[in-house]
Amino acid sequence: MKQFLAFVRKEFYHVLRDRRTLLILFGMPIAQILIFGFALTNEVKDSEILVVDYAKDNASQELLTKIGSSRYFNIRQAALSHSEILGTFQKGKIKAVVVFPANFNEDLLHHNKAQIQIITDASDVNTANMVTNYLSSIIMDYQNQLNRNLEIPYRITSEVRMLYNPQLKGAHGFVPGVMALVLLLVSVMMTAISIVREKETGTMEILLVSPFKPVLVIFAKAFPYLALSLVNVTAILLLSVFVLDLPVKGSVALLFAESTLFIITCLALGIFISIKTSSQQIAMLISLMGMLLPTMMFSGFLFPIENMPVPLQVISNIVPSKWFYIIVKSIMIKGLGLAALWKETLILFGMTVFLLLVSLKSFKIRLQ
């Protein structure tokens, strides 16, 4: 035990004294969270909306206040002719134009039917769609408000509810994704590199010619990265709760337990890579190409798996991060418990056991 502790302490010295390792270890998760959270967002925030109000009556004013009070839109008013509207798009700042025809309120009261025109800049399809959706839902909301008082029978309106994420916050999807990515990088790559480094510098030779059990060398090397990865999980969760306003709906303890399981899966993978390679560069390349790429592609974090061709869907099943991504998403956003996630947990657990067995079996107690 004393030997083990000395080993772990030595490992921490390595990490804490290497500025580059430290940067990857702690700079990367923070940078990723902040980049995904603020820069690469596909949310529509503070979009410039031009309102052309020919009606200027009660109803149009009420609706405008409603649109303006949401944090998605900044309203500018102008009285323009139809042809002038097109010109404003070409300047590029305006995301959409909302046109209220004259007699808007009257049409609504007397004909029970009024029209609003929404013109969007579809050169950016996603934004255009998003803006239209937001606007329609605000208008729908206003309509419901009116209907409550008026009670018009027999009208079918579809009511769209965005479950778990009513504000369509982009952060919801990427926090679990970033978590899977960061843990994978730290646990697989760093562990693999640090074990291979001992081979490369020759210290492995000395460690093998010592009473210290070779298998313990491996565990002692993996342990610090488990601890550091958990620190990373904590950092990511703190950032997502306090900086991105994304609370953890489910049990935090369960989230940590599942993260620990996933970290161990990754550590086993890292150990396996380190056993099979003999130079730090190769270990790094394999970790990046073999781990990072499949995680990006097949975890469902960037591309929805359901839309992939069937063979790729099958392949995605052997990517551990896919299961972890599902688990984290379910716990953080849907607030589900272990009862709903036992299947994914079991798959991840099986993978871990398998990888650990394979790496222990292929571990060499000699140089060749």
Partner 1 sequence: MMEAVVVKNLVKTYGKEKTVAVDDVSFSVDKGELFGLIGPDGAGKTSIFRMLTTLLLPDSGSATVDGHDIVKDFRQIRSSVGYMPGKFSLYQDLTIEENLHFFATVFGTTIEENYHLIKDIYVQIEPFKNRRAGKLSGGMKQKLALCCALIHKPTTLFLDEPTTGVDPVSRKEFWEMLRRLKEENITILVSTPYMDEASLCDRIALVQGGKILSIDTPHGIVNSYPDALLAIKANEMYRLLKALKGYPGILNSYAFGEYAHATLRDAHTDTHALQVYLHEHGLTGVEVKEAEVTIEDSFIKLLH
Residues binding partner 1 (CB under 8 A): 2-3, 6-7, 10, 13-14, 17-18, 201-203, 205-212, 365-368
Considering the complex, state which of residue 204 and residue 243 has its C-beta at the smaller distance from partner 1.
204
145: nearest Cα among 37, 256, 63, 40? 63
Considering the complex, state which of residue 5 and residue 78 has its C-beta at the smaller distance from partner 1.
5
Least distance CB 231 / partner 1 (angstroms): 21
Q: Which two tokens stand for residue 153?
A: 């029978």
Q: Compute the distance between CA of residue 22 and CA of residue 193 in angstroms, rounded to an integer.
A: 14
Q: Compute the distance between CA of residue 55 and CA of residue 103 in angstroms, rounded to an integer.
A: 5
Considering the complex, state which of residue 211 and residue 309 has its C-beta at the smaller distance from partner 1.
211
Least distance CB 367 / partner 1 (angstroms): 5
Q: Compute the distance between CA of residue 94 and CA of residue 130 in angstroms, rounded to an integer.
A: 14
Least distance CB 188 / partner 1 (angstroms): 22
Considering the complex, state which of residue 12 and residue 342 has its C-beta at the smaller distance from partner 1.
12
Q: Compute the distance between CA of residue 196 and CA of residue 202 in angstroms, rounded to an integer.
A: 10
Q: Which amino acid is at 311?
A: P
301: nearest Cα among 178, 160, 219? 178
Adjacency order of strands within the sheet including 73-77: 73-77, 47-53, 96-100, 117-120
Least distance CB 213 / partner 1 (angstroms): 9
Considering the complex, state which of residue 129 and residue 210 has its C-beta at the smaller distance from partner 1.
210
Q: Are 332 and 175 in contact (CB under 8 A)?
A: yes
Q: Are 237 and 248 in contact (CB under 8 A)?
A: yes
Q: Compute the distance between CA of residue 228 and CA of residue 287 in angstroms, rounded to an integer.
A: 18
User: CB under 8 Å to 31, separation ≥6 — which residues?
Assistant: none
Considering the complex, state which of residue 220 and residue 268 has its C-beta at the smaller distance from partner 1.
220
Least distance CB 13 / partner 1 (angstroms): 6
Beta-carbon-side half-sphere exposure of residue 238 (alpha carbons within 13 Å): 8
Q: Compute the distance between CA of residue 182 and CA of residue 184 in angstroms, rounded to an integer.
A: 5
Considering the complex, state which of residue 202 and residue 304 has its C-beta at the smaller distance from partner 1.
202
Q: Are 230 and 255 in contact (CB under 8 A)?
A: no
Least distance CB 7 / partner 1 (angstroms): 7
Least distance CB 208 / partner 1 (angstroms): 6
Least distance CB 2 / partner 1 (angstroms): 6
Alpha helix segments (H runs only) across 243-367:
252-276, 280-287, 293-298, 310-316, 320-329, 338-362
Least distance CB 232 / partner 1 (angstroms): 22
Q: Compute the distance between CA of residue 222 and CA of residue 166 in angstroms, rounded to an integer.
A: 41
Considering the complex, state which of residue 194 and residue 345 has its C-beta at the smaller distance from partner 1.
194
Q: Which two tokens stand for residue 132?
A: 């239209």
Least distance CB 22 / partner 1 (angstroms): 12
